[in-house]
Amino acid sequence: MTETLNADVVIIGAGATGLTAATDLVKAGHSVVVLEARDRVGGRLWTNDIEGQMFEIGGQWVSPDQTALLATLEELGLPTYSRYREGESVYVGRDGVAKRFTGDIFPASPTTESEIERLIVVLDELVAQVDPDAPWAHPQAHELDHVSFRTWLEQQSDDEEARDNIALFIADAMLTKPAHAFSTLQALLMAASAGSFSNLVDADFILDKRVVGGLQGVPLALAASLGDRVKLEQPVHTLEWSDDGVVATTDTLRVEAKRALVAVPPNLYGRIDYVPPLPRRRHQLHQHLSLGLVIKVHATYETPFWRDKGLSGTAFSPYQLVHEAYDNSNHGETRGTLVGFVSDEKADRVFALDADERKRLILESLAAYYGDEALSPAVYYESDWASEEWTQGAYAASYDLGGLSRYGQDQNSPVGPIRFGSSDLAGLGFQHVDGAIRVGHRIGAEIAESLAATAVASA
Ligand code: FDA
């Protein structure tokens, strides 16, 4: 039996984007129904209990430039705390030797260190010319979008270790795709969306704070206020649309509305049947966006043993399986937790192994940074978003080579009564919760405006 609901707006997806837009539209006096495929809200934000230990399975960090997210945290009364960062960081170079350091520049040879510093300046200058809301408008957008970030780095420097380190900040650490798989323009957008390339290099900036109880607190609080407007376990399979409005259909619900927001990651747009089909260019655009791949590894120990050695827990190496790791101990806990990341082709390699072998290799990589104590966690967990039907990758989507300059300018255009939006299509806060909230506010306002215009026209 299918129940029919009527609303001004139907929102598909109860992640940070969809729930922000829904909240704004309700505040503006509109009726809203949010249809969510999963049995929980939050999408890529998920706080879970694994063997008695709280882990943030998806997004967790907040940085000072993320003013939209910070404003939401303030409004919802969600307190934050700083990531532990006392002591020295660790870098493992090509020689496999762990070296301690302070500051942002990895302790390579003096020539490599100064080459890294030079490349950061070059990138900062380029990034300053890029508008994160319109990277395609850069005068050299086409040229920058036609050369992979790896090739561009090879054109800039003969120092392989310097190149590997610069690539790490965008490829392994952000887009979670190999540096040959995305363009220089896409890399510049990633940095511009965080204010500068230097901000990405500065772990104390980019991974500054966490939310007490977990960042999923944001969607949970928004959904609680929306009440029964949010419907769980309602994957939308059909979206009929015309000038008169939309009809979204799930297995048990049919929602008739004037406007729709598809607030799901772009790789999932094609899971919905659009009747009639979307226009040609939209079909093409969607096929040029894909999610990266990363395993977020959580390892909890009875104590944060690395702190006793004078280590902050911050660790990097383009040559290690775990390319970056941090102290991720939860607020108020005496146990210590490390979080590490295994990206793109390295993730492919370990996903081809059985779970025990993968765990052994990952823990050995943590031990290369922190010593053998890292080999024996009390609780171990791998966040595997690529296996999640309603996400299928992490952290977010980016364009293939040439896609951003070719299609980017159309990504925010509505198709009749349908708008598409998520953190994957953000400018500032691109790929982050801050971007999801910005996109949610923007689309909420656009829909409210278009509903008002329709009301005036029909009055
Ligand atoms: P999101 O994917 O969250 O929401 C979309 C929703 O749509 C989902 O709930 C999904 O189930 C639903 N859906 C899909 N198809 C549907 C259908 N057909 N019908 C109904 N519902 C459907 N960010 C950050 O700021 N700091 C960080 O530290 C991190 N770290 C991080 C780590 C990991 C492992 C991940 C996976 C991600 C991050 N991120 C992050 C990124 C951040 O989590 C992400 O950008 C936002 O949460 C995305 O929010 P959206 O609402 O845009 O999409």
Q: Are 395 and 430 in contact (CB under 8 A)?
A: no
List helix spans (H) across 317-374. Answer: 344-351, 355-370
**Ligand 1 pocket: which of 19, 40, 44, 382 to mutate (most atoms within 8 A of CB):** 44
Ligand 1 site residues, Cβ closer than 6 angstroms? 12-18, 35-38, 43-45, 58-61, 235-236, 263-265, 268, 271-272, 296, 383, 385, 390-391, 394-396, 422-423, 431-434, 436
Q: Does 68 appear as a known binding residue?
A: no
Q: Are 390 and 18 in contact (CB under 8 A)?
A: no
**CATH 3.50.50.60 location in the chain:** 3-44+216-278+415-458, 46-104+202-213+293-394
DSSP labels for 68-83?
HHHHHHHHHT--EEEP
Q: Does 341 appear as a known binding residue?
A: yes
Asked whether the predicted pLDDT for residue 308 surpasses 90, the reply is yes
CA of 131 to the centre of ligand 1 (A): 24
Query: Residue 383 is encoded by which pair of tokens?
Result: 């966040």
* Ligand 1, atom nearest to 35 Cα: 20
Report helix, strand or coil for 220. Answer: helix
Write the residue with the smallest CA distance to atom 6 of ligand 1. 13
CA of 311 to the centre of ligand 1 (A): 32
CA of 88 to the centre of ligand 1 (A): 33
Hunting for tokens 């990034």 — which residue is that? 127
Q: Does 17 appear as a known binding residue?
A: yes
CA-to-CA distance for 66 and 433, rounded, in angstroms?
9
CA-to-CA distance for 207 and 199, rounded, in angstroms?
10
**Ligand 1 pocket: which of 246, 433, 442 to mutate (most atoms within 8 A of CB):** 433
pLDDT at res. 78: 98
pLDDT at res. 418: 98
* Per-residue model confidence as pLDDT tens digits over 251-301: 999 999 999 999 999 999 999 999 999 999 999 999 999 999 999 999 999
Write the residue with the smallest CA distance to atom 46 of ligand 1. 433
Query: Residue 210 is encoded by which pair of tokens?
Result: 């966490």
Q: Does 212 appear as a known binding residue?
A: no
Answer yes or no: CATH 3.50.50.60 is held by domain 46-104+202-213+293-394.
yes
CATH dotted code for 3-44+216-278+415-458: 3.50.50.60
CA-to-CA distance for 298 and 52, rounded, in angstroms?
13
* Per-residue model confidence as pLDDT tens digits over 30-48: 999 999 999 999 999 999 9
- In this prediction, residue 455 has a pLDDT band, given cuts at 50, 70 and 90, of confident
* Ligand 1, atom nearest to 268 Cα: 15
Strand pairing class (3-12; 32-35): parallel
* Ligand 1, atom nearest to 61 Cα: 28
Distances in Å between the Cα of 397 and the Cα atoms of 245, 251, 422, 430 are: 28, 28, 10, 9
CA of 284 to the centre of ligand 1 (A): 23
Write the residue with the smallest CA distance to atom 13 of ligand 1. 13
Burial of 261 (C-beta count, 10 Å sphere; 0-12/13-18/19+): buried
Asked whether the predicted pLDDT for residue 136 surpasses 80, the reply is yes
**ipTM computed for the complex:** 1.00
* Ligand 1, atom nearest to 394 Cα: 36
235 DSSP 8-state letter: -
Asked whether the predicted pLDDT for residue 396 surpasses 80, the reply is yes
Can you count the helices (H) and strands (E) in the chain? 16, 21
- In this prediction, residue 391 has a pLDDT band, given cuts at 50, 70 and 90, of very high
CA of 265 to the centre of ligand 1 (A): 7
* Ligand 1, atom nearest to 234 Cα: 20
Write the residue with the smallest CA distance to atom 40 of ligand 1. 59
Asked whether the predicted pLDDT for residue 106 surpasses 90, the reply is no
Backbone phi, psi, residue 453, to 5°: -65, -40
CA-to-CA distance for 42 and 18, rounded, in angstroms?
9
- In this prediction, residue 103 has a pLDDT band, given cuts at 50, 70 and 90, of confident
Q: Are 48 and 40 in contact (CB under 8 A)?
A: no
**Ligand 1 pocket: which of 41, 56, 423 to mutate (most atoms within 8 A of CB):** 423
Mean per-residue pLDDT over the chain, rounded: 97
Hunting for tokens 């902050």 — which residue is that? 312
- In this prediction, residue 457 has a pLDDT band, given cuts at 50, 70 and 90, of confident
Write the residue with the smallest CA distance to atom 30 of ligand 1. 59
Hunting for tokens 């364009």 — which residue is that? 399
Residue 428 vs residue 456, higher pLDDT: 428
Asked whether the predicted pLDDT for residue 459 surpasses 80, the reply is no
29 Cβ contact list (under 8 Å, min separation 6)? none
pLDDT at res. 242: 98
84 Cβ contact list (under 8 Å, min separation 6)? 304, 307, 312, 313, 327, 329
* Ligand 1, atom nearest to 13 Cα: 7
* Per-residue model confidence as pLDDT tens digits over 154-173: 999 999 999 999 999 999 99
pLDDT at res. 50: 98
CA of 119 to the centre of ligand 1 (A): 32
* Ligand 1, atom nearest to 18 Cα: 51
CA of 139 to the centre of ligand 1 (A): 32
CA of 206 to the centre of ligand 1 (A): 19
Q: What is the mean pLDDT of residues 181-186?
A: 98
Asked whether the predicted pLDDT for residue 450 surpasses 80, the reply is yes
Q: What is the pTM of this model?
A: 0.98
